[in-house]
Amino acid sequence: MKNLFKNILSFFRFIISKCFNSGFLRNTLSSFLAMIFLFVLVIVFIFYLIPKEEVVFVKDNSVLKIEFKDPVLDRTSENPFSDIDLLNSSTEGSVEFKDILDNIEKAKNDDKIKGIYLNFSSVNAGFSQIEEIRNKLLDFKESGKFIYSYADSYSQSAYYLASVSDKIALNPEGIIELKGLSAEIMFYKGLMDKLGIDAQIIRHGKFKGAVEPFMYNQMSNENREQIEKLLNSISDYMIDGIATEREGITSEEIHKMINNMYLSSARKCLEGGIIDKIAYQDQILSDLEDKSEHEITLTDYMKVKNPKTSVSDNKIAIIYATGEINTGKGSYNTIGSETTVEAIREASEDENVKAIVLRVNSPGGSALASEIIWREINLAKQKKKVVVSMGDYAASGGYYIACNADKIFANNSTLTGSIGVFGIVPNTKNFLNEKLGVYIETVKTHKHSDIANGYRKLSNDELNVIQNSVEDIYETFITHVSEGRGIPVRKVDEIGQGRVWSGADALSIGLIDEIGGLEDAIASAADLSSLEDYRIITLPKKTDMFEEFIESFSAKQNIVLPDFLGISEKMINQLEFLNSKEKIQARIPFIMEVH
């Protein structure tokens, strides 16, 4: 290595001596050296951002502080720049969902940890993730250790999570936003009419609401029916959970307080039994001092080595399928058929991998990509057990890739089902001609060479061909579900039609096997494979951080719209995907966020 360095240095000395004999070359070299200098600075900056290995020790008699400052994701990026917002110069980290579960479990068995202190007003996580974390905290309490909670105010989902606490304190001027659930859907039909754009829609399933915003200016009766049932199912589960942990208060009483907007002050929250104490943060910290001497944050505790980490040769592979489903390559937050198939194949061909857990957190997407992934799951099943864990969403295409597993787990609040197919082909002719004054002339070799190009109306023959394609895919979809779930095709069609179900309702109609989270799915996979000792690996393998760093600069930028328009980044992404090259899709009609 030393000789190589000397040779390189000698080469640069030779180049410099030659170049400085010419003014032109001198200027060129100066520019080149400036570029080299900037490159070195970038490399130094990147290495500065790379997390350093840090050894953290837990002091005796400590309390674990959980704040949830960062978004909770099923999987995070390896790119050190992924959390930097160049538009407002802010940074936002993220934390992996399973890391939270693992570290609560670690704290449960750690004699140095005496309890948990929850300190957050909101939780940036999916409701299904919150449900699993809450169940993990309840399991933590089984060890006899305490959980205290304090916030200046609580969002609805934050309070639901904090309701497991032995003591809940609220700032004297704080409130708890227990208000029930609602869903808003934005409709674009009027806008598209004004613009002169016609959305040519081909669908199967009377509940397939993903296309309704392009068809109507209000919800259909069928769509309203399914959303009401879904929201009530999740709301009842949340309120029943709160009532179970809050002794002396019933679900009916909580419903009444919500409907009467009773919880409008800290005093009323205390009188209603929703909290235990009105206090400032320093007062609750004083209470904690009576139970523990030291504090360690969850971020630091994640750096503490887990003494129970297995080194077994037996492996269970968690394959993450997170985000929109599309053909080609995926990323940590999108599902690409190539990337996912490669991960499934790698796990199925590894003799040390004894079982596969497919973690699905997807609202759906390309029907073709879903079929490709379904096929690979089917092949993997012939070699080893495959268990599915459904996160916030495992609907439409997300359910498609899950339906043939040996066992399916979902949380009560998981959105699943949505067994339906649709296609959208926009006709922008009037928009281009009348609004923009743009005209397009087409030359073609065959009658339908320009089918679905988006510049003209589809003929009846073309509509029939696409409709038949949608019907064929739907038949394939319900056949897969029928064979995978052991339900007659006719029955699948009845519960399909694009209808979305909560996990609790999906269990009652046979779309899933058990209510449970990711850890339940892992335990089931181990049991089905007769494993007593195993370790976890995760796939697909994360992209090299430098490769992802380079890709992040070439990726397209999202449209940024003011918050007051009510159009979120998720909504923009959904609209972009609906107008993607994958014209025939299987996806749910909305993205639900519980605050």
Distance CA 427, CA 447 (A): 18
Distance CA 161, CA 127 (A): 10
What is residue 211's DSSP assignment? G
8 A C-beta contact, residue 392 and residue 415 = yes
Q: What pLDDT, on the 0 to 100 scale, is given for residue 88?
A: 44
What is residue 435's DSSP assignment? I
Q: What pLDDT, on the 0 to 100 scale, is given for residue 209?
A: 73
| DSSP reduced 3-state for 328 | coil
Q: What pLDDT, on the 0 to 100 scale, is given for residue 14?
A: 54
Distance CA 86, CA 88 (A): 6
Q: What pLDDT, on the 0 to 100 scale, is given for residue 57?
A: 87
Roughly how many angstroms between the first and final C-alpha of the chain, as a whole number? 57
Residue 3 tokens, joined: 């000789």
483 CB neighbour count, 10 Å cutoff: 14
What is residue 176's DSSP assignment? B
Q: Decide: residue 206, CB within 10 A, 0-12 exposed, 13-18 middle, 19+ buried.
A: middle
What is residue 563's DSSP assignment? G
pLDDT (tens, 9 = 90+) of the chain, 595 residues, equals: 445 445 545 555 555 555 555 555 556 656 666 667 666 666 655 555 555 566 788 999 999 999 999 999 999 876 555 544 444 444 457 899 999 999 999 999 999 999 999 999 999 999 999 999 999 999 999 999 999 999 999 999 999 999 999 999 999 999 999 999 998 888 989 999 999 999 898 887 666 677 888 889 999 888 898 899 999 999 999 999 999 999 889 999 999 999 999 999 999 999 999 999 999 999 999 999 999 989 999 999 999 988 777 789 999 999 999 999 999 999 888 999 999 999 999 999 999 999 999 999 999 999 999 999 999 999 999 999 999 999 999 999 999 999 999 999 999 999 999 998 888 888 999 999 999 999 999 999 999 999 988 889 999 999 999 999 999 999 999 999 999 999 999 999 999 988 899 999 999 999 999 999 999 999 999 999 999 999 999 999 986 655 555 555 444 444 444 444 444 455 545 545 445 556 576 666 555 555 5
Q: Where would I find the H helices in 66-208?
A: 97-108, 127-141, 156-162, 189-195
68 Cβ neighbours under 8 A, 6+ residues apart: 120, 122, 123, 124, 125, 158
Distance CA 366, CA 92 (A): 30
Residue 351 tokens, joined: 């003799």
8 A C-beta contact, residue 61 and residue 112 = yes
What is residue 210's DSSP assignment? G
Q: What pLDDT, on the 0 to 100 scale, is given for residue 33?
A: 62
Distance CA 220, CA 498 (A): 13
Q: Which amino acid is at 515?
A: I
412 Cβ neighbours under 8 A, 6+ residues apart: 131, 233, 234, 237, 502, 503, 504, 515
**Structural domains of the chain sorted by starting position, each given as residue range(s) with its CATH number in brackets:** 62-178+263-301 (3.90.226.10), 315-544+553-587 (3.90.226.10)
Q: Residues 490, 493, 496, CA angle at the centre, nearest 5°?
A: 155
8 A C-beta contact, residue 431 and residue 456 = no
Distance CA 80, CA 91 (A): 11
Please state the φ and ψ torsions of residue 393, each to the nearest 5 degrees.
-135, 135
Q: Decide: residue 261, CB within 10 A, 0-12 exposed, 13-18 middle, 19+ buried.
A: exposed
Q: Decide: residue 338, CB within 10 A, 0-12 exposed, 13-18 middle, 19+ buried.
A: middle
Q: Which amino acid is at 161?
A: L
Q: Which amino acid is at 389?
A: S
